[in-house]
Amino acid sequence: MTKLKDSTVLIIDDEEDILFTLKILLKNHVGHVFTESNPFHLPRLIRQHQPDLILLDLNYRTNTHTGEEGLSWLEKIKTLSPRTEVIIITAHGDVDIAVKALKQGASDFIEKPWHNEKLLSTVKSTLELISSKKEIQQLENTREHLANQLNAINGEMVGASKVMETIFRTINKVAGTDANVLILGENGTGKEMVARAIHQASKRNKEVFVKVDVGSVAESLIESEFFGHKKGAFTDAHEDRIGRFEAAQNGTLFLDEIGNLSPAAQSKFLSAIQNMVITPIGTNQAVAVNFRLICATNEMLNEMVQKRSFRQDLLYRINTVEIHVPPLRERIGDIPILVDYFIKTFKEKYGKEDLSISPDALKKLEMHDWPGNIRELRHSLERAIILSETAELMPEDFRFSDSDDLDEGTDSSDLNIEQMERKLILQALQLHKGNITKAAEDLGLTRAALYRRLDKFGLQ
C-alpha cells in the first residue's frame, strides 16, 4: 500500500462522469490523482505533475471510434516521459486497437464498463511494476558507485606516530555513530583514506560510498549533480537522473573540497543536509534521503566564515566531529612505515620481488619537505621503482627540486624557520647516525631540548 500512496496518477478522458468516478475510486488508494478532459493539456500536465501512471482514453472526438487519436497521444506521452506507464481505457469490443496500443508501449488496458476490483488490481500491478523499475535503477546506480570504489586507488591507513594513533582512536569512536565528520588537512595527506576508514568501520559498510569532488563540479551543474533532475527540466536533460544525495542512499556521502561550494549552493546544501529531503529539478515531489555525511577540505573554514564566504550554520552542521590530518612533514617518523608499505605494493605490481631501499635513500626521503604529502611520496616511490635498474633503491633514484634539499642551496621558498630547524636536526642526526648526544652538541642544544624538538616535529 505504501507504494500506491507514494504514486501520482493522471486520468485523461473526455467524459466528465468517468473522470469523477475514477477519481473517487482511486483517491483513497494512491497518493495523488489529477484529471483532465482535454488531451492537448497533456504536455503541461506531465511537466507539472510528473505522473507515474496515466489512464488514457482512446477516443475524444464525437462519433469517432477508431482509437487513432488515443494512439497518437500515447506516442506523445512516451516521447515526453518514457518512464511513465500508460493504461488504455477502451470501449467494449475495441480489443484490437487496445492490442495495438500495447505494442506501442502501453502497459495494460481496461474496458468500459469496468469492474472496480479489476480496475484497482490493474492499477496496483502497474504501480508495483513502476516501483520495481525505480528500485532497479537505484541498484544500478549503487552498483556503478561500488564499481568506482573498487577501481579507486585503494590502500590502508598507515602510521605509528602519536598523531596517527589519535586519529585511529577518533575513527573508532565516531564510526559507530551517524555523526557528520569534517576532515581537515593539506592536499595529499590522506583525507579520503580517513573517510573510507570511517565508512568501512561503520554500520553502513555494506552500502555504497559515494565520493564527489565538489571543486570539479561546474557551478551551473551543482544542483543537477546533487539533487538530480527529471527529463526535460532543462535543455540537456534528455532523461531522468538521480543526484548524488539520492545515489548515496543508506550509505556514505563524501564531499571532498567542501570549501569550494559557492554561497548560493551552500544554502541548498544546508537545507538538504538538515532535513534529509531533496527535490529534483523539474518536479515538485520531495524525496527523502538517508546517508552518512563526511566532508573534507584544505581550506581554513573558520577564516572563510569570518570573511562570510562560508555559512557558519553549514559549518556547524557538517562538523559534529572534526579530524585534523597532519602533513607528512609533521609525521616524519611514519615515513619508513609508509615506504615499506608502498614498496610492498609496487614491487608486486611491477614484478620486482627482491626490491629494497638503502638506508641512505631512506634518510633522503626523511629529509625532504614533502609539499605534496603522502601522495607525493607514493608517486616518488612508484617512479623510482619503475626506473630503477638495481634491486636496491639508492638516493640518486629520487630527484627533488633544488629548494627541497638543504645541501643544494636555499631560495625564498625555504625561508620557513620551523622547516629549516627540522632540516638541520635531520642533517645532524644523519651525520651522527642517530646519536642524540652528539647531534645535540652540534646543534648547540641540550639533550632535553633536542628531544622536545624531535617530539614537536614527529621525528621520534
Domains identified in the chain and CATH numbers: 2-133 (3.40.50.2300), 152-326 (3.40.50.300), 330-406 (1.10.8.60), 416-460 (1.10.10.60)
**What region, left, alpha or beta, does residue 445 occupy, with left being phi > 0 and alpha being psi -120 to 50 degrees?**
beta
Q: DSSP characters for 384-405?
A: HHHH--SSEE-GGG----GGG-
Of 342, 336, 298, 320, the closest CA to residue 189 belongs to: 298
Of 202, 214, 181, 178, the closest CA to residue 291 belongs to: 178
Using the CB atoms, write b or e for 319-353: b if 16+ within 10 Å. bebebebbbbbbbbbbbeebbebbbebbbeeeebe
Residue listed under C-alpha cell 624531535: 454
Please state, in angstroms and rounded to a whole number, the distance separating the CA atoms of residues 436 and 429. Answer: 7
Please state, in angstroms and rounded to a whole number, the distance separating the CA atoms of residues 259 and 196. Answer: 20
| Residue 410 confidence (pLDDT) | 43
Of 70, 290, 68, 337, the closest CA to residue 178 belongs to: 290
Task: Note whether 364 and 395 are within 8 A (CB).
Answer: yes
Q: DSSP characters for 106-173?
A: --EEEEES--HHHHHHHHHHHHHHHHHHHHHHHHHHHHHHHHHHHHS--------SHHHHHHHHHHHH
| Residue 180 confidence (pLDDT) | 96
Task: Note whether 209 and 251 are within 8 A (CB).
Answer: yes
Please state, in angstroms and rounded to a whole number, the distance separating the CA atoms of residues 426 and 64. Answer: 94
Residue listed under C-alpha cell 493539456: 41
**Cell numbers for 25:** 475510486
| Residue 218 confidence (pLDDT) | 85
Please state, in angstroms and rounded to a whole number, the distance separating the CA atoms of residues 165 and 275. Answer: 35
How crowded is residue 388: how many other Cβ atoms within 10 Å of its Cβ?
Answer: 17
Residues 6+ apart with CB under 8 A from 405: 367, 368
- pLDDT tens per residue across all 460 residues of the chain: 445 677 899 999 988 989 999 999 998 888 899 999 999 999 999 988 889 999 998 887 666 667 788 888 999 999 888 889 999 988 765 677 878 888 888 988 888 888 898 899 999 989 888 888 777 766 666 655 554 544 443 445 778 888 889 999 999 999 999 999 999 999 999 999 999 999 999 999 989 999 999 988 888 889 989 998 887 777 777 778 889 999 999 999 999 999 999 998 999 999 999 999 999 988 888 899 999 999 999 999 999 999 999 999 999 999 999 999 999 988 888 999 999 999 998 988 888 888 999 999 999 999 898 988 998 999 999 999 988 888 999 999 998 864 444 444 444 444 466 677 777 787 777 777 677 888 888 777 887 778 778 777 766 6
Helix (H, G, I), strand (E, B) or coil at 85: strand
φ, ψ for residue 149, nearest 5 deg: -60, -45
Using the CB atoms, write b or e for 50-63: b if 16+ within 10 Å. bbbbbbbbbbbeee
Cα 428 to its chain centre, rounded Å, is 46
Q: Which amino acid is present at 164?
A: M
Of 410, 418, 433, 308, the closest CA to residue 359 belongs to: 433
Please state, in angstroms and rounded to a whole number, the distance separating the CA atoms of residues 123 and 45. Answer: 20
For the chain, give the number of residues.
460
φ, ψ for residue 446, nearest 5 deg: -80, 160
**Cell numbers for 19:** 473522470
Q: Would the CA dihedral through 401, 406, 410, 412 be positive or negative? A: positive
Q: C-alpha angle 104/110/111, rounded to 5°?
A: 115
| Residue 159 confidence (pLDDT) | 81
pTM of the model: 0.59
Q: Which amino acid is present at 227?
A: F
Task: Note whether 68 and 35 are within 8 A (CB).
Answer: no
Of 257, 10, 285, 267, the closest CA to residue 127 belongs to: 10
